[in-house]
Amino acid sequence: MPKIFVLHENAEWMAPLRAALDTRKLAFEEWHLAEGAIDLSDAPPEGVFYNRMSASSHTRGHRFAPEFTGSVLAWLQAHGRRVVNGGRALELEVSKVKQYLALNAVGIPTPPTQAAVGADALRDAVRKAETPFILKPNRGGKGLGVQLFQTTGSALAEIDKGVFEDAPDGTMLVQRYIAPAEPVIIRNEFVGGEHVYSVRVDTSGGFLLCPADVCNLPDSPQGFQVCPADGGAAGGADAGARPKFEILPGFTHPLHARMTRFLERNSIEVAGIEMIVDTAGKAWVYDINTNTNYNPDAEAAAGLTGTDRSGMGALAAFLGRELEQLHKLAAAD
């Protein structure tokens, strides 16, 4: 019997998806791809394969998980398996350069960016950039290593300290800082290529904005992290103020149609697309997460918990529909 296979490298981020799949009584198996082996002469099992490999896997010691996942996805796709977020999604997940070029191709604005490999090239890029600017790794993750600089000199001093030498793919980006109208970003969640909801994330506590509960611990580093799986306790809003993660009911944006096109053109079915609205009201997209987490507190506050309109609910329902398609095809044979 075909089932759902979830390709990932972070067991902690699996719990909410597991629960949503279990509730819907969907048969699934997890493939933890931090390490492993495949025999290219074998045929993969039958099923719906959902890839949620993360760009931040190196921060959990899984440095080669994306590379291994790339091999596994190529093998699955060569056998014509139904893959959700396949090779192209992975390619974009681990490269902001590729994200920006693909976004621009459908007319979505991205902050002006230079990419540099090597300390000297990075210094040259920094000297060329207008202040203030952001330095961040091309292969990102949870906002780690994202830094804002007000002056060229302060960035050059950091480069001299060797702070930027451990970018996972050796590539650093020098990017225009988009001053937001409010200290927030908006993350637009898509499942099955369709907009599920948008969530407002308070960035006043720093750039580490992972929405997963496990990422929102009081001791998480302060910087530029925005992962939604976080409970939202750390950083950002004070008690009594607006929560760090807040779903915006009924929110739509003129860029949504282009985002949908972008996803379709790049064969991405599940993604969180992050944007900043500047003081002139213009929206800039600066990060795509094809492995996406959803904030449980924000979903509870919006009354979405346990429904097909929650992130994991929509995802599990979508995977279930895809599995049903496979069952129908098998029965017709």
Ligand X SMILES: Nc1ncnc2c1ncn2[C@@H]1O[C@H](COP(=O)(O)OP(=O)(O)O)[C@@H](O)[C@H]1O
When binding is defined by CB under 6 A, the residue of 203, 216, 220, 292 that contacts ligand X is: 203
d(Cα 232, Cα 10) in Å, to the nearest integer? 19
Nearer to ligand X, 137 or 320 (CB): 137
Helix (H) or strand (E) holding 55: none
Residue 191: half-sphere exposure toward Cβ, Cα within 13 Å:
22
Give SS3 for 103. helix
When binding is defined by CB under 6 A, the residue of 164, 224, 262, 294 that contacts ligand X is: 224
DSSP 58: G
Tokens for 263, please give them.
């996803």
* 141 near ligand X (CB under 6 A): yes
Measured in degrees and rounded to the nearest 5, phi and psi for residue 220 equal -65, 145
* 209 near ligand X (CB under 6 A): yes
* 135 near ligand X (CB under 6 A): no
Least Cα distance to 182 among 59, 72, 279, 52 occurs for 279
Nearer to ligand X, 47 or 145 (CB): 145
| Contact pattern from residue 1 through residue 40 relative to ligand X, giving x for each residue in contact according to CB under 6 A and a dash for the rest | ----------------------------------------
Instruction: Select the binding partner of residue 177 from Mg ion, ligand X, none (C-beta < 5 to 8 A, by kind).
Output: ligand X
* 262 near ligand X (CB under 6 A): no
Instruction: Select the binding partner of residue 186 from Mg ion, ligand X, none (C-beta < 5 to 8 A, by kind).
Output: none
Nearer to ligand X, 48 or 144 (CB): 144
Q: Is 260 exposed, middle or buried, given 0-12, 13-18 or 19+ CB atoms closer than 10 A?
A: middle
Q: Give me the sign of the Cα torsion angle 161, 166, 169, 172.
A: negative
- Give me the residues that bind ligand X (CB under 6 A), please: 111, 134, 136, 140-144, 146, 175-178, 185, 203, 207, 209, 224, 226, 274, 276, 286-287
